[in-house]
Each structure stands twice: as C-alpha cells, then as structure tokens.
A and B are shown apart, each in its own frame.
Chain A
Amino acid sequence: MNSPNPTAAVRNGSSITTRGLTKTFNGHRVLQPTDLEIAAGEILVLLGPSGCGKTTLLRLIAGLEQSDGPDMIRFDGEDVSAVPIEKRDVGMVFQSYALFPNMTVAENVGYGLKIRKMPRAQREEETKRLLALVGLEEYAGRRISAVSGGQRQRTALARALAIKPRVLLLDEPLAALDAVLRERLRVEIGLLLREFGITAVYVTHDQAEAMAIGDRIAVMQRGRIVQIDAPREIYHRPINDFVADFVGTMNRVRGSVRAGALILDAGETTARIAVGGPDRETTLCFRPEAARLAVDGGAVRARIRATTFFGATQRLVAEVSPECQLQLDLPSNQSFVPGQIISFDIDPAAILEFKPES
C-alpha cells in the first residue's frame, strides 16, 4: 500500500516526509501536528470537507505557509523547511489555474524555464514537448482568455511540470470545471501523473476524484488525518462513521447480536445475518451495493419508497420501518415500483461495525 506506483515508467519525484506540521490562524488551530510519509512517485490525495486543513497542509509542503513550530519537511531526506518556495522546486496547480493572462499558452508553460534562464531554443523545444504531452500543441499561440476551462487546466498542469519539480502540488485543480469534463480530466490527470512518475499531493473534497486519482487517500477532519490508506481500503474498511459517510453512502441498522447473528430492532427478519462476535446491542453498517436481492426468504424485508435509475444500476430507497430507511443498489434489469415489498440479503463480508466514538 505504501509502495510507489509500480506502473510509473520513470521516477521524477522526491519522497516527502513531514513531522509535526502544525498551523494556527488567529488562535484557531487549523492543522493539528501532522506526520506524513509520501513515497517517491506516489500520488497522495488529501480528502475532506472544506475547513478540514487539507489546503493548509498542501501550502505548508509548498512553502506558501510557515508552520507554527520549527518546520520539518524533507524531500528525499533533505530538509527543505528553510528553503523558500522560489527555490523549493515544487510545481503548483491552483483551482483558479492562476495562469498569466498577459501571456499565451506557450509563454505560460515556458515561464518557469525562462525564469531559470534556459536558452530560448531549448526552452521552446521543451515547451513544445509539454504542450504535446497535454494535447495543446495547436493552442500554443492562443491567449489564455481564448481557450476553454479544460484547456486552461491542462496549461496549468504543463506549466507546473515544465520545471521538472521534485513534487507536484494540486489544490482542487478540477473544482472549477463542469461534471463531464471533470470526470474526463481526472482520468487524464491520473494517467499523466503516473506517466511522469512524479510525487504528487492532490487536494480535493470530491471523493470520486480522490478514488480515481490517489494511490493513497488521507481523509482529513478538523485539522487532522483520520485515515490514510489505499482507496479500496478507505471505501470498504473506513475506520469511523465520518470516513464511511464521506467517501460514499452508508446504511445503518440497529439491532442486537445473539449467538453470532444479527436481529434487527426494526422490521421483519425472516433469516438471520451471521456477523459473529459476542452478544451485544450494536449498529451495523453496509454500503448500498452490499445488498443482494433474494428470490424468496431473504434476511430483511422492506417496502420500496422510491427508485432512481442510473443506467448500470438502480438505487432503491427501502423502508424497513419508519425509523430505518436503507439505500440499496441493485442491477438495473429488474423493475420495481414504490410500495412493493422486497426481501434481500446483506453480504456478511461487507458489514462494518464501528466502535462507539469516545
């Protein structure tokens, strides 16, 4: 899980280590002491609601903010805490793209190289290569105001990659785009970053984006990392309610476990769900897709309240009792009508149980 992405053809990034990074704004601690280990070439996504400290953490790594205490940030073991952002060799991509409106697409991409005093011919060569990489060759001479949002985004990415940064830092890079474009670009960006083999820290509040792009996801809440793991683990094995709800829909059923089997508090159970463990009162959680429609005699009976058709699947809102409404994803080939009674089983392997939060 911690290993860098194995498909990377080349390794262009540094590993990142932070120790005790902390940030306070106006007496409010927005980032609790944070330790991170990011492998070279790894893409780490910082995921969380607004105000969770993810952007602050990114800006600390970039060198745009100073940590409260003595900073401890290392790139490949080298302490860069005292290195200003101008010399830290970080590529940045902003939500607003932050492209220079007085320059063309090509001038934007080549700006970092110009600052580094690369000879003109070499700079133009390099710029051309990067524009080709992001598929913008024919827009090289365009003004920024004359290209679309998606093209701006790719220009910003090419500009950040042009300086061959040690790490690439992306702050909600797709948030300003519409849904269709966002979905396409997150696949493109993921592929591009892996092709580059660059270490990347990617901030987003969009869980689908996080899942698609990250080698690992760090879910953040109130200034701390709650869980850091591979997307599959985060989704299927969230460590608490917050993570579970943030990365997808989660159903909760209250019941008691007797002799290793769950008995629901509400509704009619015709069969028992094996969950194991000692006898207890508890809340069990499962994702909508863990439900399996039973032909007859499923574990849980429920009345359908509403259905939403998604194409590949359909989502049912099913009521076990007025206090217990569940969301179930089922194959879309069978049609259901509100009011209909269905009976379903829950995949025992997909059932989660969280310890009550202290």
Chain B
Amino acid sequence: MTSKRFDLLLILPLAIFTLAFLILPLARLAVEAGSGPGGLANFVAILTEARFRNSLFVTLILAVVTTVATLTVATIAAQTLANRKFLGRGLLLSLLTFPLAFPGVVVGFMIILFGGRLGLVGGVTKSLFGTNVIFAYSLFGLFLGYLYFSVPRVLLTILAAAEKLDPSLVEAARSLGAGPFAIQRDVVLPALFPAMYTAGALCFATAMGAFGTAFTLATNIDVVPMLIYTEFTLATNASMAAAISIALGLITWVTLAIARSHAMRGEGV
C-alpha cells in the first residue's frame, strides 16, 4: 500500500510538469485558435487557403528531404566509422558533436557566411566564373542549415547501433555468398533500422519546427514556423497562428508516433 502511494509521489513531478507546461498551454492554444473572428474555420483555412497549404506542403517536403539526406549521409558515415580505429577518431567524433551546441541563429549565420551575398562560395565562383552564386537565402540554404545540425545527432545515434552490430552476422552472410549489396539490404540496414527510425523522426520533427535558422536566413522563406511568426506578430492574427501551431504539432506528433511504433516492430519486440 505504502509503496503504491510512494509510486504516485514519484510520478508527481512529471504530472505537474505535464499539466502546467503542456496540457494547460495547449488547451489555451486550442481555445485561442477557435476564438478568432473566423472561429473554428481557422482550421479549415489551413487546408483551403493556398498560402497556408503551400507553406505546410513546402515545410513537409523540406523536412522529408532533410531527413532522407541526413539518414543517407549518417548511415554511410556510421558504418565507415564503426569498429574502425584510426588516429584522430576521437577528435573527429567530438568535432562532429560541435554543431549540437549552436542555436539556429548561429547555424543560419554560418550558412550566410558560406553561401550568402558576400559568402565563401560566392567569392570563389565570382573569381572563377564571374558569377556570384548565392543560395543562403533560399530553401536550399535552409536545407543545408538543417543538414548541418541534423547529421551529427543522427550520426551519433546510428553509430552506437552500428558498433553493437555483431560482425559475425556480416561474416555469416558472406560465407553464404552474399555480396555487399545483399549484406546491406538483408543484414546491416535491418539491424540499424530502429536507430535510423528514431533518429530520423527527431530529425524530421526538428526540420518541421525549427525557426531560428529560417528567421536568420530570410523573412520570406515560407516555412510553417515562419508563417506562425508572421501571423502572430505582423498580421496580429493570434487565432490563426494558434490554429497553425496546433496543425504543425499534430502532424509532427503523428509522425513521431508512427516512427516509434515502427522502430519497436523493427526490434522484434
């Protein structure tokens, strides 16, 4: 009996946190979304109005592309790094964790330094071909920024899984005649799948909701977080902003939920 009461006590901090910082603000947000001049039509407007719909679409595509690109880079890199000892491996790994510390603003700033009007790439292409190549203030710049801070965290997760992979699995497959492609398809990727799914889901959620980088690069990149900001501050349409926020949250949450269930199934639990 006492232990049961004690268990309740242990869960109390989480319960308070959930109530105070999650449920109450979310409820308030939902009320806000429905209380504007349009009422609940705000939610319908997200799908019917081209500006909102396009923004949602662009954000979704950007997040998917970022996730796929990040997973590709990280999975290849993780397999290269796993169980391979070389000079400077520790330094390389710690360098990879460096971008984890940067806020989105700094990442955006770095993309500008790299591909902006006075950026590195622009300078080089100007002296070589006479044209100043600028990509920082576009979706591509944003994509690069997301890639920059997504790759390290995804890589570290997949690397941990790759290092746990029993090397005799690959050897067994080889003895059975499997070539490198078959080994990837049948042995390595299925083993890395849970880690890839989990890391990919977090990468996707980040790319859906990140704001700082987009804000730094340009105020006219039409991603959902920017849209929420404009609706809220410039158009002072708080209820619309709230409705979009909820939509954004829902889409990301559903994606994460699916990812979680798939990752569990992949582990054979």
Chain A residues packing against B (C-beta within 8 Å): 62, 64, 85-88, 90-92, 94-96, 98-103, 111-112, 115-116, 143, 145, 156, 159-160, 163
Contacts and interface: CB of A to CB of B under 8 A. Distances in A.
Interface of B: 166, 168-169, 171-179, 182, 186-187, 190-191, 266, 268
Contacts of A143: 268
28 contacts: A64-B174, A85-B174, A86-B175, A86-B179, A87-B177, A88-B175, A90-B175, A91-B175, A92-B171, A92-B172, A94-B171, A96-B166, A96-B168, A98-B166, A98-B169, A98-B172, A100-B187, A101-B191, A111-B173, A111-B178, A112-B176, A115-B177, A115-B178, A115-B182, A116-B177, A145-B268, A156-B172, A160-B175
Given A85-B175, A115-B178, A145-B268, 9 more contacts: A86-B175, A94-B168, A94-B172, A96-B166, A98-B168, A100-B186, A100-B190, A102-B191, A111-B186
A98 B171 contact: yes
A101 B191 CA distance: 8
A103 B169 CA distance: 12
Contact of A64 (B171, B178, B187, B268): B171
The B interface is mostly helix, strand or loop, or mixed, namely helix
Name the 7 nearest CB pairs between A and B, nearest first: A112-B176, A102-B190, A98-B172, A98-B168, A92-B175, A94-B168, A115-B177
A85 B180 CA distance: 12
Nearest to A117: B177
A103 B168 CA distance: 16
Contacts of A96: 166, 168
B237 to A, nearest CB: 50
A101 B268 contact: yes
Contacts of A116: 177
B5 to A, nearest CB: 37
A254 to B, nearest CB: 47
A101 B182 CA distance: 15
B181 to A, nearest CB: 11
B178 to A, nearest CB: 5
A112 B168 contact: no
Contacts of B178: 86, 111, 115
B234 to A, nearest CB: 51
Contact of A159 (B176, B179, B266): B176
A250 to B, nearest CB: 35
B169 A100 contact: yes
A102 B191 CA distance: 8
Contacts of A115: 176-178, 182
B176 A163 contact: yes
A145 to B, nearest CB: 5
Nearest to A144: B268
